[in-house]
């Protein structure tokens, strides 16, 4: 039986559940090493982490953007407002990814939802510290610009994927996007993901995802492992065309 105190804590807003990151969590923040001592000191003092669960909103449509977020562990999905009609998942986000910089730069409200597909550890940097670093660190500027550029390319590719009718190719291209070495440096070659979770991201049933994964494995592009998928040929996965 679940601990009532733990359930009460989980029901509290994410901001109330946030805490300072520990040493291991700070080591997972790739851009900290780009900063000088003073800049790093302010960033570390401002960073917070929180354990988010399915049903939580890391970002919610209509809310003011106040944090730049990074995923340290788990799996997130970025989607539209399903109450307006057909639900669309824009992208999945594995560990290592930082997101929301475009909305922070414009100081706007969120135009998308970001939610955990499973228990996830999310880090957040406050908007004022984010802009303070942009004004003082050229390496940090380059990191953020690179993020924006790579994400633009990712969303252009996602538009192409949406038009694909072949399930095997849809799964291949979506998997390749989750192994993006710049946007998601924490993934490496093995992604911890279930077939059900991949189905949520691709828009296919778990059974159809299973068929596609076995087909891609037969082609030598991936290897299905316990609890995840290992990519053996990322360039071929990105360019996959069925048959």
For residue 32, give its domain range. Answer: 4-157
Q: In this structure, are 115 and 227 located in the same domain? A: no
Of 157, 179, 212, which residue sits at a domain end? 157
User: For the chain, how many structural domains are there in total?
Assistant: 2
Specify whether 132 is located in the same domain as 171.
no
Q: How far apart are the first and last CA of the chain?
A: 50
Task: Name the more confident of 179 and 13.
Answer: 179
| 130 vs 161 pLDDT, higher one | 130
Q: What is the largest CA-CA distance in the chain?
A: 55
Q: Do residues 129 and 199 share a domain?
A: no
Indicate whether 125 and 188 sit together in one domain.
Answer: no
Q: Do 153 and 169 belong together in one domain?
A: no
User: 83 near 24, Cβ under 8 Å?
Assistant: no
> Hey, what are 52's tokens?
């988010």
Same domain assignment for residues 119 and 15? yes
Per the model's pLDDT, the better-predicted residue between 113 and 156 turns out to be 113
Q: Are residue 209 and residue 90 in the same domain, yes or no?
A: no
For range 213-224, the mean pLDDT = 92
For residues 181 and 118, membership in a common domain is answered with no
d(CA 242, CA 14): 42
Domain closes at, from 157, 182, 198: 157
pLDDT tens-digit map of 13-51: 787 888 999 999 999 999 999 999 999 999 999 999 999
- CATH code for position 107: 2.60.120.10
* Strand arrangement, sheet containing 190-192: 190-192, 228-231, 222-225
Which tokens in the block code for residue 77?
Answer: 């999905």
Look at residues 140, 157, 174 and tell me which one is the last residue of a structural domain. 157
The residue with tokens 């690179």 is: 146
């Amino acid at each position: 039986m679940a601990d009532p105190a733990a359930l009460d804590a989980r029901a509290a807003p994410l901001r109330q559940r946030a805490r300072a990151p520990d040493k291991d969590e700070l080591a997972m923040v790739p851009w900290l090493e780009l900063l000088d001592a003073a800049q790093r000191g302010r960033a570390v003092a401002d960073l917070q982490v929180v354990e988010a669960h399915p049903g939580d909103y890391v970002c919610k449509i209509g809310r003011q953007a106040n944090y730049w977020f990074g995923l340290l562990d788990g799996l997130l999905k970025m989607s539209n407002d399903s109450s307006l009609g057909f639900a669309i998942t824009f992208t999945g986000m594995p560990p290592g990814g930082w997101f929301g910089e475009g909305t922070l730069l414009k100081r706007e409200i969120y135009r998308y939802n970001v939610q955990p597909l499973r228990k996830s550890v999310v880090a957040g940097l406050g908007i004022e510290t984010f802009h303070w670093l942009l004004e003082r660190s050229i390496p940090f500027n380059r990191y953020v610009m690179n993020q924006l550029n790579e994400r633009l390319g990712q969303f252009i590719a996602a538009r192409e994927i949406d038009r694909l009718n072949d399930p095997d190719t849809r799964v291949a291209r979506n998997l390749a996007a989750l192994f993006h070495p710049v946007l998601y440096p924490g993934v490496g070659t093995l992604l911890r993901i279930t077939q059900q979770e991949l189905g949520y991201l691709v828009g296919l049933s778990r059974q159809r995802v299973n068929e596609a994964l076995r087909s891609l494995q037969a082609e030598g592009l991936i290897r299905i492992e316990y609890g995840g998928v290992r990519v053996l040929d990322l360039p071929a996965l990105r360019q996959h065309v069925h048959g």
